[in-house]
């Protein structure tokens, strides 16, 4: 699965960059995220509960940040196991560009799923992935804006 999109965030690039590197903000913004903890320099463990169609899964992801170019962007990648539901792995290239006093955040996600999740079909999985991405960015914008007040 590939998902390419962009979001215009009405904040400075430095503010958006700092928020993208704050585990508390990432955890709060990510739908179903129960924890997002550092395990080393640029490595993390995330626990996430999600429902895709009839399958409810609890995932444990190992996450890594790479290709960091502050405050222009990075690559975030991860792989996770969801027990009987299967597995998910993927990466996202994230770039930040200043645009008229705001920040354009562009991302390109490559992801794969296996196990029961893969049997649900690409259309359902793609729809859920887009919904989760939209929810993440709405939450992210609200959390970061609240922190600026």
Tracing tokens 């690409």 back to the chain, one arrives at 122
Tracing tokens 């890594």 back to the chain, one arrives at 64
Tracing tokens 């999985």 back to the chain, one arrives at 125
Contact 66, 40 (CB under 8 A): no
- Distance, in Å, from the CA atom of 140 to the CA atom of 137, rounded to the nearest integer, reads 5
Please give the domain boundaries of the chain with CATH numbers for all domains.
2-148 (3.30.530.20)
| E strand or H helix that includes residue 118 | helix 116-119
- Distance, in Å, from the CA atom of 84 to the CA atom of 9, rounded to the nearest integer, reads 38
Question: Where does 53-120 show beta strands of DSSP type E?
Answer: 55-69, 73-81, 87-99, 102-114
List per-residue pLDDT tens for the chain, 149 residues long.
899 999 999 999 999 999 999 999 999 999 999 999 999 999 999 999 998 888 888 999 999 999 999 999 999 999 999 998 899 999 999 999 999 999 999 999 998 989 888 888 888 888 888 888 889 988 999 998 888 76
- Would you give the DSSP letter of residue 36? E
């Amino acid at each position: 699965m590939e998902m390419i999109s962009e979001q215009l965030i009405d904040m400075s690039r430095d503010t958006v960059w700092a928020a993208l590197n704050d585990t508390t903000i990432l955890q709060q913004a990510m739908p179903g995220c129960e924890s997002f903890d550092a395990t080393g320099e640029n490595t993390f463990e995330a626990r996430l509960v999600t429902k895709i169609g009839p399958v409810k899964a609890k995932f444990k992801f190992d996450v890594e940040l790479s290709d960091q170019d502050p405050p222009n962007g990075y690559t975030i990648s991860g792989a996770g196991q969801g027990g009987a539901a299967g597995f998910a792995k993927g990466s996202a290239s994230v770039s930040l560009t200043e645009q008229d006093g705001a920040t354009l955040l562009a991302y390109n996600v490559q992801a794969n799923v296996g196990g029961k999740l893969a049997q649900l079909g690409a259309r359902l999985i793609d729809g859920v992935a887009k919904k989760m991405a939209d929810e993440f960015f709405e939450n992210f914008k609200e959390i970061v804006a609240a922190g600026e007040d």
